[in-house]
Structure 1
């Protein structure tokens, strides 16, 4: 059975614009997915990337245009300048880690709920009430926001170390069980082809 390790940040706009495509591809190929939220700014610092605020103006202008175009192509609500970005991605990441461990809900829906809250609904995904609401909406116990704090913090840190070790450098980033790597929302089609044996 194919497996995908999915490295991402809940505050990444490109993770939001991926929508449910990863789950669609995984279901198509009967592949399992391990969700690995991480500190994206830490990943940039460790792998030669640059935080958006420190990028050249031409790069930021292009990014703005690309994000808006991408959202329009997908008919997804999108706010280029959300009220709560940047924010602390740790609380939502810990909740995702705890939910994945607990099971019983829809983890893909939970991830999308957090990214949508940030990039389309002007909600602060570091806020406890928002975290609990997203957990509940995806079929998880909202109390995971409390119980998963310690283990979530440890796993969150280890996800970053694993990403660096395995060659990930941005989000969303997909690594298959045989170490094929795919970076970016627009490479989900390549992942699909690869899992089909056509690439």
Structure 2
């Protein structure tokens, strides 16, 4: 019962913090990742408690909104979980997942050290592709005042996390720098199957986008 209460309290806490956020990293993103993670976890021999807490807290202090500081998220999660008196082993596991979760660039690995981490990472990545992923990408681009597309600026496959974080490229470039690469970076069989369909949808969207961009009627 304590675990259920902690998960419910965490969901309420995160919802209060992120409701109304306009860049695509809002409460509804968290809820989708949480639901995705729970669905994947039913197919894997994992610790559902860790999965749920990590899914709920994974964007509590995203580096993108804290001047690139990667320590904020794990720190905020740790402080919250300590308030709930969660076991230290669980806190460390959840914080490690949050630390390792972010995509770090096409040429940079983002290794996960536990099955629970791989589940949450898959769940988060699924929400970055497909129809929702497209919507979130343009929401974030608008939030950062980026161009939709600029044919004179080519995508870059960043080989360091610092270069990836510093990018100010047009939104369409993000498809080639991240979104279209995620299908082959899924860990679980469940996520791989879902990613295939969502990947195809993005390819269709891009084909239509370029036809309209060129004025092809």
Both proteins in one fold, TM over 0.5? no
Structure with the bigger percentage of helix = 2
Q: TM-score, normalised by structure 2?
A: 0.25
| Bigger radius of gyration | 2
TM-score, length basis structure 1: 0.27
Instruction: Tell me: higher relative CO, structure 1 or 2? Use CA pairs within 8 A at least 6 residues apart.
Output: 1
